[in-house]
Amino acid sequence: MRYADRADKSFGLAGMAISLMVWDAESSLNHIDLDASPEEALRMTPDFYISPVASAKAVWDNNLRRFQLSSAMLVANVVCRSMVHLGRPAIPSTLDDAMRAAVIDEGEALCQLEAEEAVRIYSKAFAYCHRLFSHPEVARLAAGLSDELCRHGRMGAHEIFDMLAPLNRL
What per-residue string of b and e applies to 128-148 under the rule 16 or more CB within 10 Å gives b? bbbebbeeeebbebbbebbeb
The mean predicted confidence, pLDDT, of the chain is: 95
Residues 79-109: tens digit of each pLDDT:
999 999 999 998 999 999 999 999 999 999 9
Q: Is the pLDDT of residue 52 over 80?
A: no
Q: Is the pLDDT of residue 53 over 70?
A: no
Instruction: Report d(CA 6, CA 38) in Å as an integer.
Output: 11
The pLDDT assigned to 99 comes to 97
Give phi and psi for 30, each to the nearest 5: -95, -55
Instruction: Report d(CA 144, CA 164) in Å as an integer.
Output: 9
The pLDDT assigned to 54 comes to 75
Q: Which positions ≥6 away from 154 have C-beta within 8 Å?
A: 31, 32, 33, 34, 35
Q: What is the mean pLDDT of residues 41-58?
A: 84
Percent of the chain having pLDDT more than 90?
86
Stronger pLDDT, 129 or 62, i.e. the higher one: 129
Q: Which domains does the chain have, with CATH numbers?
A: 6-156 (1.20.58)
The pLDDT assigned to 125 comes to 97
Q: Name the residue among 100, 143, 156 with its Cα closest to residue 12.
A: 143
56-79 and 115-134 helices cross at what angle (nearest 10)?
Answer: 40
Q: What is the mean pLDDT of residues 26-53?
A: 91
Entry pTM? 0.94
CA distances from 16 to 22, 115, 145, 164, 170 (A): 10, 24, 11, 12, 18
Instruction: Report d(CA 118, CA 101) in Å as an integer.
Output: 9
